[in-house]
Amino acid sequence: MTIQPIPASITVAGPGLPKVAYGRGSYVWDSSGKQYIDGSSGPAVYCIGHGNEEVNAAIARQLERIAHGYRYNFTSDALEELTAIVAEKCGGRLKHVVFVTGGSEAVESCLKIALQYHAAKGQMGRRRFIARQRSWHGNTLGALSISGFLERRQAFEGALMPASHLPPANIYRPPNGADPEMTGEVCAQQLENEILRLGANNIAAFIFGPVVGAAGARVPAPPLYAQRIREICNRHGVLMIADEVMCGSGRCGTWRALAHDGVEPDIMSVAKGLAAGYLPLGAAIYSEKVSRVITPAHGGPMTGHTFSGHTACCAAGVAVQRIVERDELVDRVRQIGPKFRKLIAEATRGIAAVGDIPGRGFFIGIELVRDRETKAPFDAALKLYLRVRQQALENGLICYPVGGNVDGISGDCVILAPPYNASEDELREIVDKTAKSIRQVLAAISS
Ligand SMILES: Cc1ncc(COP(=O)(O)O)c(C=O)c1O
């Protein structure tokens, strides 16, 4: 197989992609018989690997009974069971769940629940959202409006709803040259400054990814950041929304990524790992505090779609979550995560371009820089991250490279997010092929 041409952008599917044939565990095969190890669970989705027979059987059983009981006519065993599982996994006051069919819809629902909350309180001025640059919340217009991802927004500018975008909370690139130790404090203060600048009575919610994925390459919130923003949101009556579409459902070693920081949001989104890609599923989850306000006023969240709470999708979610629980996979991710990161550090030692290896659990990024001292990125025109993706495919590895993490245009990262049940040999294979692919691409651009 020859290396396919580099696509113009990661936001559109490139030409000449291999045709997928089937998958088993951590491996995928294309129609030519070529095998790939799935080092990123695709886009951080396939958290229990491919072709799981238990999940397939659970879906088939549900389909035999009924595919979809429309939620305005019926509840179902699958819907009720998954609601109970998610509430139990979230713990605390996050007990209320609306199931949707993906991450963007989950985020969209979170935004609408926040608006409903303030409307129910008679605070119709609180319409604005504050988010961060280098963040990705989804491709629907609302979710795109709050996303800080230049390349994906550009074509829609002018039609997006107004939102504030604060600088990213990234300890490797602290704001305005701040002391890295102070990044959490400085970034939290930026939130409070923006709330005061716009007037708290105009702010609905602050939304952020506890560990940033597609737009920032696995950057976890700096220490104390989440606690400080929780205090600030409480002080100003602003709701806190945690977008855990990518980093949640156990990927970072706790079922809720923000549980690591000991912080509970008012509203949160999950999606990718919830049904592990077996069927499309996401959820918006909200707290007792929010429910106590919106339920008497509106009867519940006004975010329903035809397929919200789709029965077969919920059955897939139940089956996946039972496996995650039974096989103690979140504990496994927490325990093996540091070892996985160490493997990456060892395999990439000697590659001068590796600037940082941020992340947590099975959600690790490798940031490539032109100059380690100054942290200067490579020329964006090189599209280094896309070259790594192509080279990795050539080497039989699926990884998730992202670009633009430095200023929206420049910056190259490679994200690894293996299935939670990938064996240690498989983790080693993922890491070795990643390091090899990066070395090959760097050698090619310098020759
Ligand atoms: C943090 C986050 N939120 C929302 C989304 C959107 O999810 P989806 O692509 O399922 O609509 C993504 C997708 O990558 C994401 O990473």
**What does the pLDDT read at residue 150?**
86
Asked, colleague to colleague, whether 20-46+328-446 and 54-326 share their fold, the answer is no
Query: Which of these, 126, 97, 123, 124, lies nearest to 110 by C-alpha position?
Result: 97
CB 357 within 8 A of CB 414: no
- Give me ligand 1 centre to Cα 2, in Å: 31
Domain residue extents for the chain: 20-46+328-446, 54-326
| Per-residue model confidence as pLDDT tens digits over 410-441 | 999 999 999 999 999 999 999 999 999 999 99
Can you name the CATH fold of 20-46+328-446?
Aspartate Aminotransferase, domain 1 (3.90.1150)
| Per-residue model confidence as pLDDT tens digits over 257-298 | 999 999 999 999 999 999 999 999 999 999 999 999 999 999
Domain 54-326, second-level architecture = 3-Layer(aba) Sandwich (3.40)
245 CB under 6 A from ligand 1?
yes
- Give me ligand 1 centre to Cα 246, in Å: 6
Please give the distance of CA 14 from its chain centroid, rounded to a whole number. 22
pLDDT tier, 145 (very low <50, low <70, confident <90, very high otherwise)? very high
- Give me ligand 1 centre to Cα 247, in Å: 10
Distance CA 266, CA 257 (A): 14
Distance CA 403, CA 391 (A): 16
Q: pTM for the complete prediction?
A: 0.95
- Which residues 6+ apart lie within 8 Å of 339 measured at CB? none
Ligand 1 atom closest to 138 (CA): 6
Distance CA 89, CA 40 (A): 23
136 CB under 6 A from ligand 1?
yes
Q: What tokens appear for 404 in the block?
A: 């633009």
Atom 3 in ligand 1: which residue has the minimum CA distance? 137
107 CB under 6 A from ligand 1?
yes
Mean pLDDT of the chain: 94
102 CB under 6 A from ligand 1?
yes
214 CB under 6 A from ligand 1?
yes
| Per-residue model confidence as pLDDT tens digits over 28-50 | 999 999 999 999 999 999 999 99
CB 431 within 8 A of CB 261: no
Which letter does DSSP use for residue 418 in this model?
A: -
- Give me ligand 1 centre to Cα 381, in Å: 26
Distance CA 105, CA 154 (A): 21
One DSSP character per residue, 311-362 reads HHHHHHHHHHHHHHHHTTHHHHHHHHHHHHHHHHHHHTTT-TTEEE--EETT
Ligand 1 atom closest to 215 (CA): 16
